[in-house]
Structure 1
């Protein structure tokens, strides 16, 4: 049995209609983790640009690692096109951005450059499909992606972890981080295109991006695997 992660979210309740953004503190707590993730939720291109590390910051950090995930509204009608990406989540360290790209008036040039920077590695489960969807839906090119599943196959013993080649994020969190994370289907399949996301959606989106970052970080550090 793996210890279950305790999660909570604090909403700073900024006036949404005035600022078009909000700030949250998402807690990820379990055994060796006691982490507060500072999350910006916004559809404002200028807020997105301000959140992103600048080029000098990327160069100083030498191959920056970023967790990436996307969400969109489920489509329950057969033989119809999937809905466009509604949110783009990025996480580095204890900082997370949830960009409500579907409601944004434009995509900032800083984000276009950030995603296309070959010195930044973006981690996620099935991230090539996510990158392809960003390209199709918004003409956004993610230059340097690493799928966590083949990375786990390279790093983990197949004798002990035979299922990682098809693993989801929760399974990889158990194997790599040693923690159990709950991913409720009612949130997974919720209305991600709503203009006002719930605290549960913000927590879910933040944790997915954080896990993508943290699992990628540990798989790249031989001494960090639990």
Structure 2
């Protein structure tokens, strides 16, 4: 189950992610489209009140990460220790870690302010939990957060500048998996170049940078955005 959130179109999400990405680029000056997520998580994001902590499997149970919207200022995000350590890994572990961080940033930017506002104004009863099947995508916090992650990691302008490149080339340049790249290009309706047979993405699996079912759940009496652990 998830909390129904205010509607956001893909265009709205692209605009919000572009604002965030512009700030992150100004802080880190990357040489290519891939952002230096280790520096962001360790130094720059904490200065903005976004605090990431490595956590054990026992703490997160069946989740990859959890975003805590309680409080009034900083936002605390837990993520599995192995993902936290894999942020600079060029392989599958790093792809998964970067997608997880970007997704949790989506919750932090798009949903935490809304949840806090409703609580502070005495409107917590409006934070109704429903099944994702009951929601249109534009009101689904998980669709919104994955769309935000895609736009943050693979902005439309960057993809359009690489027209004709294969899915593998696009994924490698942006530091994501081919599954993530395929899902995001399809979401933006951006065609990709010819893909060799051994480059075709496998069927997406939950928790690996694709449209996985994330939940806004209660943990220790506090609503938390949680990323299911891949099975």
TM-score, with structure 1 as normaliser: 0.28
Structure richer in helix, relative to its length:
2
Q: Which has the higher contact order (CA 8 A, sep 6+)?
A: 2
TM-score, with structure 2 as normaliser: 0.28
Structure richer in strand, relative to its length:
1
